[in-house]
Structures are given as C-alpha cells and as structure tokens.
C-alpha cells in the first residue's frame, strides 16, 4: 500500500527500501507456502493419499500445459517428447504426481539459465518414470549430495525460493511408493530429474 500510494505518494528516497521490502515479503510468502505444504504432508500423508491408476502420458501433457503461461513469461518452452510411449499406466495419486512435475518444471524453467528449454519424457525402462530435462548449466557435483535436503539452495541464487521444493517432491514420491532422483549425465548439458512410479496394479 505504501508503494501504490494508498497513503499518499511516498518520498522518492523510500523507493529502494520499499523494493527490498516487497522482495522480502515475497520470500516470506514462498517460505510460508512451502512450510504449510510440509505440514500437510506430515499430518495427512496416508489418509488422503489416493492410490489410483495414472496415465503418465496424460499427466505429463497436463503438467506441460499448465506450465505454458509461466514458460511464455520466461521466454522458455515446455514440451512432452512426442516419442513417449503410449500407455504407461502407473499406480499412485494423480494430484501429487502433478504437483511433483509442476515443481520440477518450474525449477527447470527458473534455474536453467537463458536456455529454458524443458522436455518431459515418459519412459518404461524396467520401471515407469517421467523425466524432466533442461538444457541449463546443470548442478555441480558438490551440490548434488545435499540437493534433496530441506532448505538446500544455491547461496548465490537471486531467485526467490524456499529450498523445500525438491525435498517435498521426493517425500511425496516416496509416500506413493516411488522415488525422485537426479540423473548423472556425464558430458551432457543441463539436468535430468526422474520421477519413478510403481506400475499399475503393484502393491505400495
Ligand atoms: N533444473 C535445475 N537446474 C539447476 N539447478 C536446480 C534445478 N532444480 C533445482 N536446482 C537447484 O536446487 C535448489 C533447490 O531447489 P528446490 O528444492 O526446488 O528449492 P527452491 O526452488 O525453492 O530453491 C535450487 O535453489 C537450485 O539451486
Ligand atoms: Mg523449486
């Protein structure tokens, strides 16, 4: 309200501090959202978790579609690899699967430098999985060990974030009997996160 002049026009020298204040508020909001999401996982984990058949190709398409406005805003792209297999049916909670993919896509868009090209692949390689690949700078070896721990962030990052996204996503994946991993791709550009899920009909 100070910024938009609800209390009359703010003195010019307030400009910079108000900008910082807005940014800090945004950071706090992101953190509170993430912590609330964590609490919800703790308290409602298995009670509200569904265990349905999930058409992975469909879910990947939905996630890519939902990401379009953000991708446009960031001058990036999010696509599902057309060579995906047709009928990968996994077992788990569709909303959670979508939430995990949203997190991964968003990270890929935000942290992949100027390239911002995100590709989703549905794969059946002895296990069902959805990979989210970007063509950014990748994640240095020394950061990989702690990447999935809560509050793990790049100290120098200028992006607003909580460092909880990957931790929450991995927790959700494991609760569904799946997992979330980061692939080692020596020589390749960018990062490749892989969400592993149980095939339909298998016990959790
Ligand atoms: N696709 C990616 N490419 C490069 N770095 C990434 C990618 N995804 C995540 N990271 C790094 O991992 C950190 C943790 O990610 P996350 O748990 O989602 O938290 P947040 O996005 O709130 O920082 C990010 O701050 C970023 O440094
Ligand atoms: Mg994130």
Both 145 and 87 in one domain: the answer is: yes
Both 15 and 104 in one domain: the answer is: no
Cα(104) to centroid of ligand 2, in Å? 7
User: What does the radius of gyration of the chain's CA atoms come to, in whole angstroms?
Assistant: 19
Both 10 and 110 in one domain: the answer is: no
Q: Is the residue at 114 inside a domain? A: yes
Torsion-angle region of 68 (φ positive above 0: left; ψ -120 to 50: alpha; else: beta): alpha
Q: Is the residue at 150 inside a domain? A: yes
Ligand 1 contact, 152 CB (< 6 A): yes
In 145-195, which residue ranges form alpha helices assigned H by DSSP? Answer: 165-175
- Give nearest CA residue, ligand 1 atom 8: 107
Atom of ligand 1 nearest to the CA of 154: 27
Cα(145) to centroid of ligand 1, in Å? 13
Residues of the chain with pLDDT under 50: none
Both 85 and 185 in one domain: the answer is: yes
Number of domains in the chain: 2
Listed in sequence order, the residues at least 6 apart from 19 whose beta carbon sits closer than 8 Å to its beta carbon are none
Any idea what DSSP says for residue 46?
Answer: T
Both 68 and 167 in one domain: the answer is: yes
CA distance 197 to 192: 16
Q: Which domain holds residue 66?
A: 51-199
Q: Is the residue at 204 inside a domain? A: no
Both 22 and 60 in one domain: the answer is: no
Q: Is the residue at 182 inside a domain? A: yes
Any idea what DSSP says for residue 128?
Answer: E
Ligand 1 contact, 161 CB (< 6 A): yes
Both 4 and 67 in one domain: the answer is: no
Both 23 and 97 in one domain: the answer is: no
- What distance, in Å, lies between the first and last C-alpha atoms of the chain? 50
Torsion-angle region of 29 (φ positive above 0: left; ψ -120 to 50: alpha; else: beta): alpha
CATH number, position 142: 3.30.565.10
Both 19 and 110 in one domain: the answer is: no
- The reported pLDDT for the residue numbered 46 is 60
Atom of ligand 1 nearest to the CA of 108: 1
Ligand 1 contact, 57 CB (< 6 A): no
Q: Is the residue at 156 inside a domain? A: yes
- Give nearest CA residue, ligand 1 atom 18: 165
- The reported pLDDT for the residue numbered 105 is 97
pTM: 0.86
Comparing CA positions, the residue from 143, 137, 66 lying closest to residue 103 is 66
Both 150 and 134 in one domain: the answer is: yes
Both 3 and 82 in one domain: the answer is: no
Both 21 and 110 in one domain: the answer is: no
Q: How confident is the model over 164-177, as pLDDT tens digits? A: 999 999 999 999 99
CA distance 57 to 55: 6
């Amino acid at each position: 309200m100070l910024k938009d002049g609800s209390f009359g026009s703010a003195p010019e020298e307030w400009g910079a501090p108000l900008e910082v204040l807005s940014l800090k508020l945004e950071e706090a909001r992101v953190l509170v959202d993430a912590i609330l999401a964590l609490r919800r996982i703790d308290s409602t984990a298995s009670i509200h978790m569904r265990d349905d058949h999930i058409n992975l190709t469909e879910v990947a398409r939905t996630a890519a579609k939902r990401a379009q406005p953000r991708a446009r805003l960031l001058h990036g792209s999010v696509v599902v690899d057309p060579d995906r297999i047709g009928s990968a049916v996994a077992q788990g909670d569709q909303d959670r699967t979508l939430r995990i993919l949203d997190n991964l896509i968003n990270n890929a868009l935000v942290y992949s430098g100027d390239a911002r090209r995100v590709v989703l692949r549905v794969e059946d390689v002895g296990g069902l999985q959805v990979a989210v690949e970007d063509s950014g700078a990748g994640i240095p070896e020394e950061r990989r060990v702690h990447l999935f721990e809560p509050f793990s962030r790049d100290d120098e990052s200028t992006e607003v974030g909580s460092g909880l996204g990957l931790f929450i996503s991995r927790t959700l994946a494991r609760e569904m009997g799946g997992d979330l991993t980061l692939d080692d791709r020596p020589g390749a550009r960018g990062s490749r996160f892989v969400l592993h899920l149980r095939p339909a009909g298998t016990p959790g």
